């Protein structure tokens, strides 16, 4: 008997664990907890009417039926009779939203005190987005008797960039191998592909670049294009367009052309034929994303041509099919004796006006490289004649990788809200990339370097899913706050228990600042491990390329620390508008979060707190560590409300995060102390090891360094 009891218990707990593996992301559709709300929903939603019979509306139908079944714990039927339905999805070309993707949701009360909910859109994809939004409202247990929503996307291109290789390794991936199994495609359709598309559609993501920016030309061969077609066909009804990365030297590598010179007519013909072949297979193919003449990738400059020559050649090839070219501005060259910060701007700004209409320039959020904190990239807003996309990194290459809980929405918001002053005040980065500031620009968008792999929970760390979610929600509506997005995500992912929501909110909302503090406070940047970018390595100086070495970025010496980018230094600040320069040019008034990004200041530099810089550095590093301890305490307080599986995963990961935060603090401070020659403040927690110990640590198999 006892044995059977144990068996049943372990079976039950196994099922529970499996159910909360994280695979279902924010689409769990568990029954509504709040009884009053549940009764309101059950009373009012019984019959659903869906106009249109496209593949997209079939998806909508199954999502709504399954979603409502789970949330309301009752079977919901679909009716063909508009009059009897109480949840209606209508195609309506006159909806309030003028976007092809937008939707309206309204509820109207009847005489019998019941109400009907109307969801309308110009197109069936708008209905699908509206359906997902309606399910989100229910998952958040909001009342539906007075809904009045008009929703359309802030950005037209909301796209994931997968840095996935054809052998399924993922550059900077920390959640397993690629979900795209090129070997078994096109014949084997993994359920993952469908669930991936569903998840993206549920948050409004409408594009995906399937392959790494460090591109492999093989993806452009016919047999691989057939595999791409299989994915494109699957993703289409979810409103997702497929894009590929184009290796600039592909004509040479695949068809033995003598050159890849963009002005050579044979090369032009090759790309035109390739585009034709692709569009015959995939009529709505999005276009190409290109990393050229950057970190060893081939590009037009190999032939003495400019970025616009290269981009325009490809743009001509896809233009007949309405394709676009997303050309990256992430370029820097160690052979040019110039601050890496300045190089993209120097190269691209003079090209403004030279690009074809179907080219967008994709710029990283900051001028260096997805660092924990950077000021906005000065190129954003500096090319008014050229549509521009901003690229952010969801995968946490520089943000604690697989093991740190870092909610990135506050970082995205910080950049989006910054005023660039390119057209006077109110020139926020958001208003540039959403096209408000330069109204003539037809295209706009944002890219997120994906954090998705084949781990059971998709993103590795259970909280990393929140960054995928936040990217989608923010690109749909750049006005949403980090808190709003976090709250939605928490309720959908962990449930609606008030107590735990508050604690998890606190954990998430403080996590970004905490990570900046224990890794790169006060404007420090790029001081992590060589190559794998794991852990602290401020002493790193072994690369032959100066601009890959941490010492190039912090410039610590006996006089002080920081990178002088003012007029007495590299003058990178001059790439910003005057008003921005004024904010950051003077070390005594510069926003302290960017101090060492723009200034080399003395170890005794007076800080706003009244401390000198050295002491401030010590305390800030330590504050970051203390905040992780607080995150641990908050997480423990959620124990009774979180399923055991995810609770223990996060509990263990927070322990690693704390250990690594302390490691960052101790290693960096011991190293910087060799220059400051100042003692640690009184009662400061002293490092348990000496500097030699930290310098001896090696991580030959740190993840994410795939080839």
List, by residue number, the catalytic residues.
295, 369, 397
User: Based on CB atoms, which residue is closest to ligand BDP, 126 or 375?
Assistant: 375
By beta-carbon proximity to ligand BDP, the closer residue of 70 and 448 is 448
Least distance (Å) between residue 553 CB and ligand BDP = 14
Q: Is 171 in the site for ligand BDP (CB under 6 A)?
A: yes
Please, is 47 exposed, middle or buried when counting C-beta atoms within 10 Å of its C-beta (0-12, 13-18, 19+)?
A: middle
Q: Which is nearer to ligand BDP, 215 or 613 (CB)?
A: 215
Calpha distance 191→243 (Å, rounded): 21
Smallest gap from residue 297 Cβ to ligand BDP (A): 8
Is residue 531 packed enough to be buried (19+ CB in 10 Å), middle (13-18) or exposed (0-12)? middle
Kindly report the length of the chain: 707
DSSP string, 573-622: GGGS-HHHHHHHH-TTTS-GGGHHHH--EETTPBPTTSSBHHHHHHHHHH
**Three-class HEC string of 421-443:** CECECCCEHHHHHCCCCCCCCCC
Instruction: Give the per-residue contact string, 292-311, with ligand BDP (x = CB under 6 A; - = no).
Output: ---x----------------
Identified binder of ligand BDP from the candidate list 330, 376, 489, 576, rule CB under 6 A: 330
Report if residue 172 touches ligand BDP, rule: CB under 6 A: yes
DSSP string of 508-529, one letter each residue: HHHHHHHHHHHHSGGG----B-
Q: Is the dihedral of CA 34, 40, 46, 52 positive or negative?
A: negative
Cβ 246 to ligand BDP shortest distance, Å? 14
Nearest to ligand BDP of 394, 504 (CB atom): 394
Give me the residue whose beta carbon is nearest to ligand BDP.
369
Q: How far is CA 463 from the centre of its chain?
A: 13
Q: How far is the CB of 172 from ligand BDP (least distance, A)?
A: 5
Shortest separation between residue 211's beta carbon and ligand BDP, angstroms: 12
Using CB under 6 A as the binding rule, whether residue 525 contacts ligand BDP is answered as no
Q: Is 646 in the site for ligand BDP (CB under 6 A)?
A: no
Give the Cα separation of 449 and 392 in Å (integer). 6
3-state per-residue secondary structure call for 246-299 = CCCCHHHHHHCCCCCCCCCHHHHHHHHHHHHHHHHHCCCCCEEEECCCCCCCCC
Q: Which helix (H) or strand (E) holds 130?
A: helix 124-139
- Sign for the CA dihedral angle at 262, 266, 269, 274 comes to negative
Q: How would you label 494-523 residue by residue, b for 16+ Cβ within 10 Å and e otherwise? A: bbbbeebbebbbbbbbbbbbbbbbbbbbbb
By CB under 6 A, is residue 616 in contact with ligand BDP?
no
Show the site string, 365-394: x = touches ligand BDP by CB under 6 A, - = not: ----xx------------------------
Closer of 97 and 532 to ligand BDP (Cβ): 532
CB 310 within 8 A of CB 299: yes
What number of other Cβ atoms are within 10 A of residue 442's Cβ?
11
Total number of residues that touch ligand BDP (CB under 6 A): 10
Residue pointed to by tokens 């309720």? 491
Kindly state the tokens that stand for 450.
């994906």
By CB under 6 A, what part of segment 202-221 binds ligand BDP?
Answer: 213-214
Largest CA distance in the chain: 82
Residue 248 within binding range of ligand BDP, rule CB under 6 A = no
- Closest approach, Cβ 258 to ligand BDP, in A, equals 28
Q: Write the DSSP string, 609-633.
A: TSSBHHHHHHHHHHHHHHHHHHHHH
Question: In angstroms, what is the minimal distance from the CB of 396 to ligand BDP?
Answer: 12
Q: How far is the CB of 295 from ligand BDP (least distance, A)?
A: 6
Cα 191 to Cα 249: distance, rounded to the nearest angstrom: 34
| 291 makes contact with ligand BDP (CB under 6 A) | yes
Residues in contact with ligand BDP by the rule CB under 6 A? 171-172, 213-214, 291, 295, 330, 369-370, 397
């Amino acid at each position: 008997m006892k044995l059977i009891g144990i068996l049943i218990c372990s079976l039950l707990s196994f099922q529970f664990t499996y159910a909360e593996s994280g695979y279902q992301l924010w689409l769990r559709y568990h029954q509504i907890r709040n009884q009053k709300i549940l009764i309101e929903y059950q009373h009012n939603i019984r019959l659903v009417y869906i106009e249109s019979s496209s593949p997209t509306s079939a998806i909508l139908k199954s999502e709504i039926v399954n979603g409502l079944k789970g949330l309301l714990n009752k079977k919901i039927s679909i009716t063909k009779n508009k009059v009897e339905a109480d949840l209606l999805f209508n195609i309506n070309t006159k909806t309030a939203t003028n976007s092809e993707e937008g939707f309206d949701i309204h509820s109207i009360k009847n005489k019998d005190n019941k109400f009907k909910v109307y969801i309308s859109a110009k197109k069936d994809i708008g209905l699908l987005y509206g359906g997902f939004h309606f399910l989100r409202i229910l998952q958040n247990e909001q009342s539906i008797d007075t809904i009045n929503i008009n929703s359309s996307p802030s950005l037209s291109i909301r796209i994931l960039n997968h840095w996935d290789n054809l052998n399924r390794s993922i550059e900077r991936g920390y959640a397993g191998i690629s979900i795209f199994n090129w070997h078994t495609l096109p014949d084997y359709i993994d359920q993952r592909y469908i669930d991936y598309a569903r998840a993206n559609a549920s948050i409004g993501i409408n594009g995906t670049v399937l392959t790494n920016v460090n591109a492999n030309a093989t993806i452009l061969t016919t047999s691989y294009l057939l595999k791409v077609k299989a994915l494109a066909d699957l993703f289409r009804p979810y409103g997702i367009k497929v894009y590929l990365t184009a290796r600039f030297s592909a004509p040479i590598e695949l068809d033995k052309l003598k050159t890849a010179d963009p002005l050579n007519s044979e090369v032009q013909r090759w790309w035109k034929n390739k585009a034709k072949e692709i569009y015959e297979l995939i009529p709505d193919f999005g276009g190409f994303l290109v990393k050229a003449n950057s970190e060893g990738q081939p590009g037009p400059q190999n032939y003495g041509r400019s970025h616009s020559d290269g981009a325009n050649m490809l743009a001509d090839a896809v233009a007949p099919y309405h394709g676009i070219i997303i050309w990256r501005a992430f370029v820097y060259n160690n052979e040019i004796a110039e601050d890496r910060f300045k190089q993209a701007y120097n190269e691209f700004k003079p090209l403004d006006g030279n690009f074809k209409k179907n080219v967008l320039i994709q710029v990283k959020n900051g001028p260096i490289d997805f660092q924990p904190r950077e000021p906005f990239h000065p190129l954003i807003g500096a090319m008014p004649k050229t549509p521009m996309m901003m690229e952010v990194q969801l995968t946490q290459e520089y943000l604690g990788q697989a093991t740190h809980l870092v909610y990135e929405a506050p970082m995205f918001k910080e950049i989006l809200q910054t005023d660039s002053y390119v057209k006077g005040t109110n020139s926020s980065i958001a208003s540039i990339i959403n096209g408000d500031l330069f109204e003539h620009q037809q295209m706009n968008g944002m890219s997120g370097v994906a954090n998705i792999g084949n781990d059971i929970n998709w993103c590795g760390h259970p909280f990393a899913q929140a960054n995928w979610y936040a990217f989608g929600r923010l690109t749909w509506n750049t006005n949403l706050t980090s808190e709003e997005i976090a709250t939605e995500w928490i309720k959908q992912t962990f449930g609606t228990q008030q107590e735990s929501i508050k604690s998890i909110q606190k954990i998430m909302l403080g996590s970004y600042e905490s990570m900046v503090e224990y890794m790169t406070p006060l404007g420090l940047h790029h001081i992590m491990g060589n190559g794998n970018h794991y852990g602290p390595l401020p002493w790193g100086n072994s690369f032959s390329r100066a601009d890959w070495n941490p010492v190039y970025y912090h410039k610590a010496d006996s006089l002080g620390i920081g990178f002088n980018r003012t007029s007495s230094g590299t003058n990178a600040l001059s790439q910003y508008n005057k008003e921005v320069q004024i904010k950051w040019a003077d070390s005594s008034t510069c926003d302290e979060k960017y101090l060492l990004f723009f200034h080399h200041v003395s170890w005794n530099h007076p800080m706003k707190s009244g401390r000198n810089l050295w002491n401030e550095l010590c305390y800030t590093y330590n504050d970051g560590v203390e905040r992780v301890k607080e995150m641990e305490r908050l997480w423990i307080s959620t124990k009774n409300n979180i399923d055991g599986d995810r609770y223990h995963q996060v509990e263990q990961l927070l322990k690693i995060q704390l250990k690594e935060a302390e490691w960052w603090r101790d290693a960096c401070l011991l190293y910087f102390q060799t220059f400051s020659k100042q003692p640690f403040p009184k009662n400061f927690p002293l490092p348990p090891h000496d500097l030699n110990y930290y310098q001896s640590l090696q991580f030959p198999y740190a993840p994410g360094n795939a080839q």
